Structure 1
Amino acid sequence: MKISTASLDWKSESPHSNQYEDIYFNPEDGISESFYVFLEANKSPQLFKESHDACITIAETGFGTGLNFILTASEWLKHSPKQSKLKYISVEKFPLSRSDLQKALKQWPQFQEISIAILEQYPCPQAGYHTITINHSHIELLLMFGDAAESYSRLNAKVDAWYLDGFAPSKNPDMWSPELFREIARLSKPGTTFSTFTAAGIVKRGLRDVGFDVRKQKGFGRKREMLVGTFVENQAPKTIDKPWFELPASAKPKGVTIIGGGLSGCLTAQALAERGVKVTLLEQENQLATGGSGNPQGALYAKLPVKQTTQGELHLSGFLYSVNMLKRLDPEESFWSQCGVMQLATSDKELARQNNLIEQETYPQELVSLKGAEELSEIANTSVNFDGLFFPSAGWVSPRALCEHFVDHPNISVVQQQVNDLSFAEGHWQLATKSGEFLSASHVVICNAEMANQFNQTDHLPLKTIRGQVSITQAKATNNQLNSVVCGDGYISPAHNQQYCFGATYDLQGKERNVTQDDHESNLEKLSKVLPDIHADLAAESNDLQGRTAFRCSTPDYMPIVGPAPVQDQFIETFAQLRKDRKWHFENAKAEHHPNLYVNTGHGSKGLITCPISAELLASMICDEPLPLPKDVIDAINPARFIIKKLIKQTI
């Protein structure tokens, strides 16, 4: 869903909301007021000093100009231990535009470094969850665009302190609702604190009703009173809508062993290593990314649905996350390029779909726009035969180079080893290897693509392979020089290391591992349809084409499998009533999982946009941190979903 940005009136360089007819911060001394009302009242600096290696979670209602976050991040950098982590969660229904935010942040030059990091990663006005990472992942801002109560209802987290900001209840009564107070209580734990600038009765009563001990204290400056308090207990009974998707309790481990050295394995390793976890990465081949992650280049973009779907939300969130990650990691663009991606409408049906997508205004123009063939030809620097969508922030990535970059970390050890069997005994996993060795690990993540279901614990996962071949050729000086990734029935990227990589075939039945001339011809035929001049150059050298064949690992619903590994027999026994009634209410039912065993696979051809966010999700699960995706999206990729679907369909 497209989000409307804030309508502002600037008064003496301070923003004033036209929607709510209220100020964003005290124009006289906004920093002191925010520090007093939110940081001091919640004892945040003291909390940071005592965090040790834990993750501290601050949640806020009303991101506004980001002042509260900037002050909190600044204090965190002053006081927190090296291995601790700050997760700051905020929500905004009418976010500032990038230009307005930049103007607001200029007022606080002492926080320039943090402000620049925010602006570089600030999301386009698109509903959903957006992650901004600062200071090598030791500070993460989860910024949710949308209604406060709805956004928090989709969150999986335990909050240490609440900054109840936002416009005054008299100006914005819809936000200060019973629904929001219930979500605040759900996400709190005994001892969770809150503070707010207001002393309004609706806020005081609302928080008391859901289990907070609420007190008044002196407000800032001329303001007489404000509210503070501590969560005691949730008065409402806890109900679990889908107990089969409840995640097991976890605590940050000292070490994790990962099976598989492709994109999912390497990115999961890096996400854990950045949290101070020692990672052993097991790869059976003598180099990383030899399977589906091994192509020289891959297109980085999301094919967006006209109306938002769970899959579409995952792909868009993942795409935006990947772009921000790559901009941070490789600003020189040595192993990726933000050259833009065009998705051509090669049929009347696809053109109608694209027109509908733009007419619905589902997505902001800075994310995607519809352009004619002539304009796309200018962008691509070669003749383009079709109209299509253009994604200016998209591009291409070299997956293997990305993998190699990620594992170059002091907390990651790469070991060439093939694992044949898993067993659990005395609190540890025993990994039986092909060489006859037995490795021990407290936590294991299975990331070895289509081989992820080779183990007894995961043999119920319905994985399938899809054969694909790309064609590779030298880019000569006389060739047309392509400036953008072009996707039609296949794709081609601008030359990298003086080579063009294009394709790819999509063969659901193919098992051939060799590169074939027939597939080269198929790739050239697809290219001829969309880029005639590029095709003419490359077809002249068709006998010199090189190539690579790999097998994408996919699933029946084309969604990845990310999360804890369920115990199939226990799931069937516990949730057997679903065979008779899919709406059955299970009381005190517990989803059983194999202890500290996780899966990250099934990314198909979307690995560049789903692997990074999935790695962050999995690392957050394992380390007991707030999760970076909405709960319904997390449920949609839960490994247990296939067991539940079979129970409902009575096929198991």
Structure 2
Amino acid sequence: MNRKQSQRLSWRDNTPVSDKFDDIYFSIEDGLAESEYVFLNSSLIIEKVHQNKFDSFVIAETGFGTGLNFLLTASKWLQHSSEQSTLQYISVEKFPLSHSDLHKALEQWPEFKELSHAILEQYPLPQAGFHSIKIQQNRIELLLMFGDAAQSYSRLNAKVDAWYLDGFAPSKNPDMWSPELFREIARLSKPGTTFSTFTSAGIVKRGLKDVGFDVRKQKGFGRKREMLVGTFVENQASKTIDKPWFELPASKKPEEVTIIGGGLSGCSTARALADRGVKVRLIEQENQLATGGSGNPQGALYAKLPVKQTTQGELHLSGFLYSVNMLKLIDPEESFWSQCGVMQLATSDKELARQNNLIEQETYPQELVSHKSAEELSEIANTAVNFDGLFFPSAGWVSPRALCKHFVDHPNISVLQQQVEELSFAEGYWQLATQSGETLSASHVVICNAEMANQFNQTDHLPLKTIRGQVSITEPKPTNSQLNSVVCGDGYISPAQNQQYCFGATYDLQGKERNVTQDDHQSNLEKLSKVLPDIHADLASEPNELQGRTAFRCSTPDYMPIVGPAPVQDQFIETFAQLSKDRKWRFENAETEHHPNLYVNTGHGSKGLITCPISAELLASMICDEPLPLPKDVIDAINPARFIIKKLIKQTI
């Protein structure tokens, strides 16, 4: 998706009309009544709610449009469901409305004012990919996918209870109603999954029958003679699994989970589970949270975007957008973060060429990133800036330790100071041997203790590495201008928090020194002098006043985090040994073995502010058997089993 793919609208009597497809978004006569009849009532949603046989209910839709179906369903859900149940609503839109057009469209439905406001507050930028939105204290979760319907659903991991097959009519938009889409609908369905759609076109009827749906006609809405409804029976198509080593184990929402590690990874995972009603015991060996890589006073909140989209770039951008939305909701007063913007300076000719190429490609919306001259950036920053660069207006800085404290402030979370030395599994429970000699018992365990995550027998194959970093901390001088934006060059500096500047940081792959050093202070000052000469002049005048902090980032060989179920290494090697001879070998009926209810969330490096919260959501969704908030190829790229598979292919194991 690029900037040209946002939907362009015309308006007929307050009804939005797509210029591209020359079709209306909802009935001119009564769009709300049509939506209720065709989708909510025909899918028997309220009847299923009253059965109260589920913790969550999953509805998937083709064509988000103005969001009318979602708003109606969410409103009815809140009226009829229990407070313990959640609605998981998944929708796709190839040509998303602009924020202003969506706002105008939703003004037609004042009865949904509160829900509309919640959606508009978190409505994504027109950027391809998966976007998670949570409203009503997490009782309703909207996963909004921007992109082609068939392609987007092919990347989804979920089990759907009911389908709303909406979108423009097959005669207007035949490309959407494709055999590829019908196959994905079947893949994501289970016996008993229902569908309803306003159309009775033969291409839709035949397409759904061919993939295993029992299809029926019923009276359409208003003057429309017929519409289609049906139920999924079975899928006769082959169930050959691509990359079976990344298949996830079955799971069922637990009552409690124990987490090892109290940094950003562990605290965000604890909160994601607690918000789902799961009791969490968070174990941290130090006497306070976020003492390692998550303990710096401030961290830059932004994503360095690739010119051409990559799996890593998609994870970082999805995580960044998710973190920004989350922070706006949990801390609207900006008490421990600031959406002050981030500038990424082009400090070399190579970086300048890369940034120019990025802007020319128009891969990212202008609301996300734009090019600025040094003069423009100087005005934004309120101090002299030496280079042109990119500006991210929705980015900023966060206090990681304060964010961790917020995460664990929940009645479902208890924090225990203890050091876990060994894990063993017996009779359906994990036994956690601690340094004090006490043994703790847990049904589910998530390992989040950074570079120590591979200290256990079950995870000792994970290739974790540490990268030493030192930040410098000092008070602004009275003569110094107040910095108004985060500035990133070879290092970074944030606007002062609590009358202190935090800047740096060093990036030492070999360093083991845990003390703060003057050499690293000097290195940080040199980086600062290159980009912000006036601020550097003030801060460098008395270098002996600099304080600092040293920590070790936990990273991986591919610089992607490790998030997911813990594989049994020996079994993986035995099952997929043929990869060492033929990397394209197709494994039929291959079954993977994972350590029961054992998960890992580590290796976030210096990107924890944008990867930890979205990874926590991913992991909580896995554990609680919910639709996963990231595309399958991104999930595969951070799967803990990937290193075993890579070694088999390279014949190094």
Taking structure 1 as the reference length, what is the TM-score of the superposition?
0.99
1:571 equivalent in structure 2? 572
- Alpha-carbon contact 1:476-1:498 (below 8 Å) kept: no
2-side partners of 1:504 and 1:542: how far apart? 16
1:482 Cα deviation after fit: 0.2
1:55 Cα deviation after fit: 1.7
Distance 1:293 1:52, change over 3 A: farther
Letter in 2 for 1:242: K
- Alpha-carbon contact 1:53-1:82 (below 8 Å) kept: no
Count of residues paired in the alignment: 652
2:6 equivalent in structure 1? 5
1:590 equivalent in structure 2? 591
1:294 equivalent in structure 2? 295
The answer to whether residue 526 in structure 2 is matched with residue 530 in structure 1 is: no
Letter in 2 for 1:458: T
1:53 Cα deviation after fit: 5.5
The answer to whether residue 174 in structure 2 is matched with residue 178 in structure 1 is: no
Letter in 2 for 1:521: Q
Letter in 2 for 1:149: A
2-side partners of 1:51 and 1:18: how far apart? 42
Letter in 2 for 1:78: Q
Per-residue CA deviation, residues 348-368 of structure 1 (Å, 9 max, x unaligned), is 000000000001111111100
Letter in 1 for 2:587: F
Letter in 2 for 1:497: N
2-side partners of 1:196 and 1:53: how far apart? 24
Query: Which shows bigger deviation, 355-364 or 50-59?
Result: 50-59
1-side partners of 2:153 and 2:70: how far apart? 18
2-side partners of 1:644 and 1:51: how far apart? 42
1:123 equivalent in structure 2? 124
Letter in 2 for 1:310: T
1:234 equivalent in structure 2? 235
Taking structure 2 as the reference length, what is the TM-score of the superposition?
0.99
2-side partners of 1:493 and 1:601: how far apart? 26
2:438 equivalent in structure 1? 437
1-side partners of 2:368 and 2:46: how far apart? 38
- Alpha-carbon contact 2:66-2:106 (below 8 Å) kept: yes
1:480 Cα deviation after fit: 1.4
Letter in 2 for 1:354: Q
Letter in 1 for 2:449: N
1-side partners of 2:365 and 2:52: how far apart? 39
2-side partners of 1:415 and 1:201: how far apart? 61
Per-residue CA deviation, residues 245-297 of structure 1 (Å, 9 max, x unaligned), is 00000000000000000000000000000000000000000100000000000
2:403 equivalent in structure 1? 402
1:80 Cα deviation after fit: 1.5
1:473 equivalent in structure 2? 474
Letter in 2 for 1:100: D
The answer to whether residue 337 in structure 2 is matched with residue 304 in structure 1 is: no
Instruction: Tell me the SS of whatever aligns to 2:291.
Output: coil
Instruction: Tell me the SS of whatever aligns to 1:142.
Output: strand
1-side partners of 2:320 and 2:46: how far apart? 35
Letter in 2 for 1:441: A
The answer to whether residue 609 in structure 2 is matched with residue 608 in structure 1 is: yes
1:51 Cα deviation after fit: 3.8
Query: Which shows bigger deviation, 135-144 or 225-234?
Result: 135-144
1:474 Cα deviation after fit: 1.3
2:541 equivalent in structure 1? 540
Per-residue CA deviation, residues 160-195 of structure 1 (Å, 9 max, x unaligned), is 000000000110100000000000000000000000
After the TM superposition, which parts of structure 1 deviate over 6 Å for at least 4 consecutive aligned residues?
A: none
1:106 equivalent in structure 2? 107
- Alpha-carbon contact 1:52-1:80 (below 8 Å) kept: no
- Alpha-carbon contact 1:283-1:415 (below 8 Å) kept: yes
Instruction: Tell me the SS of whatever aligns to 1:605.
Output: coil
Query: Which shows bigger deviation, 466-475 or 445-454?
Result: 466-475
1:69 Cα deviation after fit: 0.4
The answer to whether residue 101 in structure 2 is matched with residue 81 in structure 1 is: no
2-side partners of 1:44 and 1:478: how far apart? 65
1:483 equivalent in structure 2? 484
1:54 Cα deviation after fit: 1.3
Instruction: Tell me the SS of whatever aligns to 2:607.
Output: helix
1-side partners of 2:236 and 2:393: how far apart? 49
Per-residue CA deviation, residues 512-549 of structure 1 (Å, 9 max, x unaligned), is 00011111111011000000011111112311111000
Letter in 2 for 1:602: G
1:477 Cα deviation after fit: 3.6
1-side partners of 2:49 and 2:480: how far apart? 58
1:475 Cα deviation after fit: 2.5
Instruction: Tell me the SS of whatever aligns to 1:258.
Output: strand
The answer to whether residue 199 in structure 2 is matched with residue 209 in structure 1 is: no
1:50 Cα deviation after fit: 3.0
- Alpha-carbon contact 1:444-1:596 (below 8 Å) kept: yes
The answer to whether residue 510 in structure 2 is matched with residue 509 in structure 1 is: yes
2-side partners of 1:592 and 1:390: how far apart? 46
Distance 1:476 1:77, change over 3 A: farther
- Alpha-carbon contact 2:477-2:539 (below 8 Å) kept: no
2-side partners of 1:48 and 1:618: how far apart? 26
2:338 equivalent in structure 1? 337
Identity of aligned residues (%): 85
- Alpha-carbon contact 1:212-1:230 (below 8 Å) kept: yes
1:36 Cα deviation after fit: 0.8
1-side partners of 2:298 and 2:22: how far apart? 50
1:611 Cα deviation after fit: 0.3
What is the root-mean-square deviation of aligned Cα atoms in Å?
0.8
2-side partners of 1:326 and 1:41: how far apart? 38
2-side partners of 1:478 and 1:283: how far apart? 42
Per-residue CA deviation, residues 368-423 of structure 1 (Å, 9 max, x unaligned), is 01110000000000000000000000000000000000100000000001100000
2-side partners of 1:23 and 1:395: how far apart? 39
Instruction: Tell me the SS of whatever aligns to 1:354.
Output: helix
2-side partners of 1:110 and 1:77: how far apart? 14
1:562 equivalent in structure 2? 563
- Alpha-carbon contact 1:299-1:485 (below 8 Å) kept: yes
2:457 equivalent in structure 1? 456
1-side partners of 2:423 and 2:623: how far apart? 19
1:48 Cα deviation after fit: 2.4
Letter in 1 for 2:461: H
1:646 equivalent in structure 2? 647
1-side partners of 2:297 and 2:54: how far apart? 38
Query: Which shows bigger deviation, 539-548 or 298-307?
Result: 539-548
2-side partners of 1:202 and 1:356: how far apart? 42
